Amino acid sequence: MLKDERAFTLIEMLLVLAVISLLLILIVPNLADKNEEVHNKGEEALIQMAESQVQAYYIDNGKYPTSVRQLVNENYLSTDELANGTKRLVFKDNHSYKVIIEHVD
């Protein structure tokens, strides 16, 4: 049996695991909160961009589009769906041309 072996003791390993666990407990909940905030900001930016494209369509064609889907079909927007596919852009009503986000069923 070798007597000069260098290795981590059980206590050292437990201390490292405790520190890592503590860091994870502190960091993970904050990341989840920030993730939702980032998604909300992205949705707001997408709505503003879509409303700008409605105005660009009006300038180019002299009339408003009948739907957000028409903006996609005529290449004013690349898609009307949000990244995860559970939401999409639609007009709130046919008179204001305000873009909102609707849940896809």
Q: How confident is the chain (105 residues) per 10-residue block, as mean pLDDT?
A: 70 93 86 80 91 94 92 92 85 85 83
In which residue are the tokens 């009948």 written?
Answer: 66
Task: For Cα atoms 69, 71, 77, give the angle at the middle one, nearest 5 degrees.
Answer: 105
List CB contacts of 70: < 8 A, sequence separation 6 or more: 57
Helix (H, G, I), strand (E, B) or coil at 30: helix
pLDDT at 2: 58
Residue 4 has what pLDDT? 61
Q: Which two tokens stand for residue 52?
A: 């700008």
pTM score, whole prediction: 0.66
DSSP 3-state assignment of 27? helix
Please give the pLDDT value at position 33: 75
